[in-house]
Structure 1
Amino acid sequence: MAEITAAKVKELREKSGAGMMDCKKALTETAGDLDAAIDWLRTKGLATASKKSGRVAAEGLVAVSTSGTSGAIVEVNAETDFVGRNEDFQKLVMGIADVASTQSGDLDAIKAATFPGSDETVEATLTNAIATIGENMNLRRAVSVSVENGVVASYVHNATAPGLGKIGILVALESEGDAAKLEEFGKQIAMHVAATNPEAVSVDELDPASVERERTVLSDQARESGKPEEIIAKMVEGRLNKFYQEVVLLKQTFVVDGENSVEKAVELKGKELGSSIKIASVIRYAVGEGIEKEESDFAAEVAAAVSG
C-alpha cells in the first residue's frame, strides 16, 4: 500500500478544497494517486467546496446553546438568506453551537472536535455541507460563557427554529437566587439587549477612546454657547451622562418596564430573590455584522450572460 504522507494530504487539500480527513480517505482509496483522488472527491461531491470558498458569505444563522451555568453562541455564515431556512443547515449550526459549549469558544478546537452524532470533525461536516447545499459557508465566530453560581440565559430574536435566528444573545447572571426566576429575568435582559445593542455593560467597560472622543465633541458643542468654562464643564458632564444612558446597558431604561434603568431593575430583582445579582457578561451576535457585502447589479449580470 502506498504511503499516505501529510504533505500529500496537504497538497490534495489545497487542490480540492476538501476537508483533511476526506483527502486522507481519498488518497487511501486511490492508493496515493493524486489525480485519481481528486476524481474520487469530485465523485463524492467533496471537491466542489473550493470553487465556492471565494464567494462572500454574509447571511446565515446565529445559534445559542445553554445548560444551567454555561452557554455558547456561534455564527455560521452562508451566501443567501434562503439557506437559513434549510433544515440541514439549521441542524449543522445547532450542532456546532453544542460543540462550542464544550470547547471554550475556540474556533480551531471547535473545528477539530467531532460533530454530534457522527465520526467526522466539525470542519469536515461543514465542508460536506458546502458540497451538498451548494453555497460557501463559514464558521465565523464563537464564544462560550459560564458562571460559578447563577445562570446563563439566552434569547434569539425572530427565531427560525429553537435556538436559531438572525440575532442571538447570551446573558450570564451571577447570583445565589432561584435559578428558574434568574433565567426568566436573564431572558428579559437578553431581549432588552437585542433591541438596544449597548456598547458595554457598565461605564467602566466602555472604550476609553470612545468616551474621550464623545467628551471632545460635547465640549466643542458646549463652547459654542459662549458660557464660562466652569459652566461648560457641568454641561459636558450632564450630556456625557445622557450618552451613557444611550450606550451602557446598566444605564439604559429597561425596555420591559419602560421606567427603571437596567441597573435599578437588577437591584429590585435581587431584593425580590433575596440575593444580589451581577450581570457577569453579555454577548450579542447579529448575522453578517461587520462583513462587507458585495453589491450586485442583477440587470448587468443578465446582460453579460446574454452577450456571452
Structure 2
Amino acid sequence: MAIISAALVKELREKTGAGMMDCKNALTEVAGDIEAGVDWLRKKGLSKAAKKSGRIAAEGLVALTVKTTDAVIVEVNSETDFVARNEDFQALARNIAEVAVTQKLTDVEAIKASAYPAGGTVETAIANAIATIGENMTLRRAALLSVTQGAFGSYMHNAVSPGLGKIGVIVALESTGKVDVLQTLGGQIAKHVAATNPQALDSSALDPEVVEREKKVLAEKNGAGKPAHVVEKIVESGLKSYYKEVCLVDQPSIIPDHANKTIGQVVKDTEAAAGAPIVLKGFVRYALGEGIEKQESDFAAEVAAAASGQA
C-alpha cells in the first residue's frame, strides 16, 4: 500500500477544493496518484474542479509587445519579487520581448543566441544582469501570434509598467476590418482570457486525451445502471457544459457590453462595426510562475543559521 503523505493530501486538496479526509481516501484508493485522485473525487461528486491550473510560484515578469502583424509574450523569472521592481530587470524583460517579436522567435535557445539591443547576445545580457543584480534569472518561455491582416488585443494584469506584469494575454484577430474596432474587441477578449483562463480556443484545439478523460468521468459519474444510449446523451450534454468552461469561443462573455453571449457570438456581432468578417485566430495567456514549484524555506531557521555562521 502506498504511503500517503500530508504533502500529497495538501496538493490534492489545493487542486480540487475537496475535504482533507476525502483527499486522503482518494489517494489511498489510487495508490497516491494525484491525477487519478482528481478523477476519483470528481466521480464521487466531491470535487468542484473542472480543470486544474498551475500554482503561481516563481517571481519575475511577464512581458508582451505588439508589432503590426506579430505579437510576442515572454516570461523572465527571478528569485524574488523585489527584482521585478528593478528598472534594469524591467528593461531586460522588455528588450527580450522586443528581440523575440523582431526576429519572430519562440524557441528559448534561439532567443538567447540572438543579438541584444545594447550589444552582445540575450544570453550575455541575462548573465550581466545576474552579476549586477545578484539573483539568478532565466528566460523561461515565449510565444508568438501572427496575422496576415488584422489586429491584436492585449492585457497585462498587475502591471508594473506598460507591457510588464504578472499575467499577460495577447489575442490575434484576422480581418480586413477597421483596426480600431478590432483592437477594442481584442482588448476586451484579452481581459476575458485573463479572468477565465480558457484551456483552448475551441473544442477542436483540446487535447483528445483530455476530452476522452472527461467523457469517462461523465459516464462513470452519471451513467450507473443506465442504458448505453442514455449514457451517450448524458456524456454529450456534459461535454457541452465542459466546453463552455474551458473553450474560449464557447465561454459566456464577462465583457459588460456583451452579457448573455459567448465570446464566439461577440466576435460575430462585431463584424458589422468592423465592416468585414473577423476570425479569432488565437490567444496566449501567461501567468507568472505557473507550474513551477517554489522551494519552501524556514526563514527563522535561515536567519539563525546565518547568525551562527552556518550559512
TM-score (norm 2): 0.77
Name the structure 2 match of 1:106. 107
Task: Determine the structure 2 residue equivalent to 1:242.
Answer: 241
Alpha-carbon separation, structure 2, partners of 1:66 and 1:214: 36
Distance (whole Å) between structure 1 residues aligned to residue 229 and residue 107 of structure 2: 50
CA distance in 2 between counterparts of 1:108 and 1:285 reads 19
Q: Is the 8 A contact 2:159 2:166 kept in 1?
A: yes
| Gapped regions of structure 2 (runs ≥ 5) | 1-56
Preserved CA contact (<8 Å) 2:147 2:172: yes
C-alpha displacement at 1:237, in angstroms? 0.9
CA spacing shift, 1:106–1:223, aligned 2, 3 Å: closer
8 A Cα contact 1:100 1:106, kept in partner: no
Looking at structure 2, the residues matched to 152 and 266 of structure 1 have their Cα atoms a distance apart, in angstroms, of: 13
Write out per-residue CA displacement over residues 129-148 of structure 1, whole angstroms, 9 at most, x where no aligned residue: 10111100001111222110
* 1:265 and 2:266 aligned: yes
SS at the partner of 1:102? Answer: helix
Q: Report the Cα distance in structure 2 between the residues aligned to 1:89 and 1:302, rounded to whole angstroms.
A: 27
Question: What's 1:20 paired with?
Answer: none
Residue 228 of structure 1 is matched in structure 2 by 227
Name the amino acid aligned to 2:137: M
Query: For the pair shown, which has the larger CA radius of gyration, 1 or 2?
Result: 1
Deviations 1:209-237 (A, max 9, x none): 0000000010011123x333322221111
Q: How many percent of aligned residue pairs carry the same amino acid?
A: 53
Aligned match of 1:215: 215
**Deviations 1:162-199, CA, capped at 9 Å, x for gaps:** 00001111111101110111011111111111011111
Query: More deviation in 207-216 or 278-287?
Result: 278-287
The total of aligned residue pairs comes to 250
Superposition map of 1:268-287 within 5 A: 268-287=269-288
Q: Report the counterpart of residue 252 of structure 2 in structure 1.
A: 253
Identify unmatched segments of 5+ residues in structure 1.
Answer: 1-56
SS for the counterpart of 1:231 is: helix
In structure 2, what residue type is equivalent to 1:248?
C
Give runs of ≥4 in structure 1 deviating > 6 Å.
Answer: none
CA shift, 1:97, in A, is 0.5
CA contact (8 A) 2:178 2:275 kept: no
CA distance in 2 between partners of 1:113 and 1:79 (Å): 24
Alignment of 1:190-209 (within 5 A): 190-209=190-209
**Distance in 2, Cα, partners of 1:232 & 1:109:** 49
